[in-house]
Amino acid sequence: MQQQEDDDSDVEHIQFKVILLGDGAVGKTSLAMRFCENHFGKQYKQTIGLDFFVQNVELPGNVHATMQIWDIGGQSIGGKMISNYIFGSHAVLLVYDITNYQSFQDLEDWLRLVKRTFDAAGENSQMPYAALVGNKLDLGHLRAVRRETHDQFCDENDLNSFLCSAKSGDQVKAAFTRIAADLAGVTISKPELDIAQSAVKAEIIDHVQNDASYPAVDASEVAKQRGNKCCIQ
C-alpha cells in the first residue's frame, strides 16, 4: 500500500485547453472524435457554437496531461463569443482540408482573430502554442494544397506543423501526443510517438464492415457511448 501511495505521489497531473479553429467541414470534430474516442462519423454534422472533448495523455516521466479540446464551429468566426472561447487557451490548432484550397486561405483570417484576441488582453498576455493541421491525408490524390505551401505558411507564422487523417486515424494520436508533450515541456522520441500511433491504427481496423454475417451497428448505441463529450450552443 505504501509503495502504491509513493507511486501515485510521483505522478504529475497537468491540464491544457486546446482550441480547434478553421472553416466548416474541414474535419475539426472528426479529429477530436478520433483522438478522444477513436471513432469516425461518416455523416457530416455542422458544429453550432462549440463541442467539448476531454482526453488524457500519458507522457514520459510519469506526466499525465489532460487535454480539453474545444471544437469551435466554422461559422463562428464573426460570432460575439468567439474571442471568449479562444482566450485562455494553451494551444490553438488551425485546421484545413488539404483538398480544399479555400479552407487553407481562410486560415489567415482565423490566425488574425487569434492574434487580435490575445493582443486585446494586454501586455502580459502571450500568444499560445500554435499549429497548422492539414486534415484528410487519406485523400492525398485530391490534394489542392502542396506540402511546400503548407510548410511556407508555418515558417512565415511560426507555427508547428502536422498532417493527418481523421478518417483513417493516421498521425492523429501522434499529433496530439506531440502537442501535449510540447505544452508540458516533455521530451518525447519518434519511436515513442510511433508506438502511440500504431496502437491507434490497430484499433481502427474494421474487418466486419462489409460482412453480412455481422449485425449492423446501431448509431444510437454509438451516441450513448460518447459520455465524455458535451455540446455548448
Q: What is the pLDDT of residues 11-46, one digit of tens each?
A: 889 999 999 999 999 999 999 999 998 877 665 555
Residue 103 has pLDDT above 70, yes or no: yes
Q: Output 162 or 47, whichever has higher pLDDT.
A: 162
- Cα–Cα distances (Å) from 3 to 7, 12, 13, 59, 204, in that order, read 6, 17, 19, 21, 36
First to last CA, the chain: 46
- How many domains are contained in the chain? 1
Mean pLDDT of the chain, nearest integer: 81
Question: Helix-strand-coil percent breakdown of the chain, rounded to 5?
Answer: 40, 20, 35
Q: Is 5 part of any domain?
A: no
Q: Is 30 part of any domain?
A: yes
Q: Output 87 or 222, whichever has higher pLDDT.
A: 87
Cell 457530416: give the residue. Answer: 44
Please tell me the predicted confidence (pLDDT) of residue 138. Answer: 95
Q: Is 4 part of any domain?
A: no
The three cell numbers of residue 205 are 481496423
Q: Which domain holds residue 134?
A: 12-206+218-232
Give the least confident one: 3-7, 37-41, 185-189.
3-7
How many Cβ atoms are within 10 Å of 138's Cβ, its own excluded?
15
Separation between Cα atoms, residue 135 and residue 95, nearest integer Å: 7
Q: Is 107 part of any domain?
A: yes
**CATH number for the domain harbouring residue 87:** 3.40.50.300
DSSP state for residue 48 in the 8-state scheme: -
Residue 195 has pLDDT above 50, yes or no: yes
Model confidence band, residue 228 (pLDDT cutoffs 50, 70, 90): very low
Q: Which percentage of the chain shows pLDDT scores above 70? A: 74
Please say whether the beta carbons of 133 and 35 come within 8 A. no
Please tell me the predicted confidence (pLDDT) of residue 208. Answer: 41
Q: Is 7 part of any domain?
A: no
Model confidence band, residue 93 (pLDDT cutoffs 50, 70, 90): very high
Please tell me the predicted confidence (pLDDT) of residue 130. Answer: 97
Q: Is 119 part of any domain?
A: yes
Q: Which uninterrupted H or E stretch holds 8?
A: helix 2-9
The three cell numbers of residue 96 are 484545413
Q: Is 19 part of any domain?
A: yes
Give me the sheet containing 50-59, strands edge to edge.
160-163, 129-135, 91-97, 12-21, 63-72, 50-59, 229-232
Q: Is 73 part of any domain?
A: yes
Q: Which percentage of the chain shows pLDDT scores above 90? A: 56
Give the least confident one: 86-95, 163-172, 185-194.
185-194
Q: Output 147 or 213, whichever has higher pLDDT.
A: 147
Residue 169 has pLDDT above 90, yes or no: yes
